[in-house]
Amino acid sequence: MNASNALVLAMALTVAASAAAQAPNPPAPAGGRGGPQGPPPTAREAAPIDLAGQWVSVVSEDWRWRMVTPQKGDYASVPLNAEGRRVADSWDLARDGAAGESCRPFGAPALMRLPIRVRISWQDPATLIIESDEGQQTRLLRFATPGAPLVAAAQSGAERTWQGRSIAEWNKQAVSRGLGFGGGRGVAGGNLKVTTTELRPGYLRKNGVPYSENTVLTEYFNRHDEPNGDVWFTVTTIVDDPRYLNQSFITTSSFKRETDTSKWDPSPCQTDPPR
């Protein structure tokens, strides 16, 4: 090859290399590396914690408000406004029974605070179900699914209920060792957040401490496993009610998982007289 041809070849290779460097990258195969992808995981498949099973509430504080029906007018620690106190002071147990309102203390804002057992399971891949023995209540915690947005009860024409309309979502951040919003002793991976609206008016305590139909209930469920093998979850409950409360009413309640289910004993809504 003479010098002239070599120069031409060198120039051609330089131009080709420059063009290749400037050419856009070819589109990636559909679905990314490995070809087409399947559908996104369901809420059940994406769960960072497992809450399925039978659990019993462990009442270690607030006995006077949780284990028995408090005296009328005992609404200490609940941030009631003047209207809330007026309604609480007018509570009448016999009147509730005669009106078929015995389940007022078993609505979602108060249910997990009661001394109860609950069973948690998956009704379907996008719905957790919580069943209580006392009061025989059923809560449906619905996760949104792609292409199937959730419809509010008010839009669907459904009636308000004691358990309302609950929308669930997983929070997948690592959690701290403390209890409460990010709680969980020795647990990493996340928690369950539940927001409940469309509630039927009820009671925060069995002695008539009220919440209204405007209430928004926010809950955080955190599971924590102990070194001895015990499994617990703690639910932080935040009740916001512009009608009867001056500020958020926040409580935490703990449940221990049971391996023996023989103590499950469902009973209808009932409120004993104050002691």
pLDDT tens figures, 231-263:
999 999 999 999 999 999 999 999 999 999 999
Domain assignment of residue 37, yes or no = no
pLDDT in tens, 130-165: 999 999 999 999 998 765 555 554 455 679 999 999
Domain assignment of residue 74, yes or no = yes
Domain assignment of residue 248, yes or no = yes
Domain assignment of residue 6, yes or no = no
Percent of the chain with pLDDT over 70: 77
Domain assignment of residue 63, yes or no = yes
Domain assignment of residue 267, yes or no = no
pLDDT in tens, 201-212: 999 999 999 999
pLDDT for the residue numbered 147: 58
- The CB density around residue 152, as the number of other CB atoms within 10 Å, is 11
pLDDT for the residue numbered 118: 98
Q: What angle do CA 143, 128, 54 make, to 5 degrees?
A: 155
Mean pLDDT of the 32-40 span: 69
Domain assignment of residue 7, yes or no = no
**Which region, left, alpha or beta, applies to residue 6 given φ > 0 means left and ψ of -120 to 50 means alpha?**
alpha
Residues 6+ positions from 203 with CB-CB distance below 8 Å: 104, 105, 107, 110, 209, 210, 211
- Does this model's pTM top 0.85? My answer is no
pLDDT in tens, 211-223: 999 999 999 999 9
**In the chain, how many domains are there?**
1
**Which region, left, alpha or beta, applies to residue 105 given φ > 0 means left and ψ of -120 to 50 means alpha?**
alpha
In this predicted structure, the answer to whether residue 27 has a pLDDT above a threshold of 60 is no
Cα torsion 174, 192, 112, 207: sign: positive
Q: Name which residue leads in pLDDT, 19 or 209.
A: 209
Nearest in space to 106 (alpha carbons), one of 147, 182, 153, 161: 161
Confidence of residue 14 (pLDDT cuts 50, 70, 90): very low
Q: Mean pLDDT of all residues in the chain?
A: 85
Its domain, for residue 134, covers 53-258
pLDDT for the residue numbered 39: 87
pLDDT for the residue numbered 172: 84
pLDDT in tens, 50-100: 999 999 999 999 999 999 999 999 999 999 999 999 999 999 999 999 999
In this predicted structure, the answer to whether residue 186 has a pLDDT above a threshold of 50 is no
Domain assignment of residue 270, yes or no = no
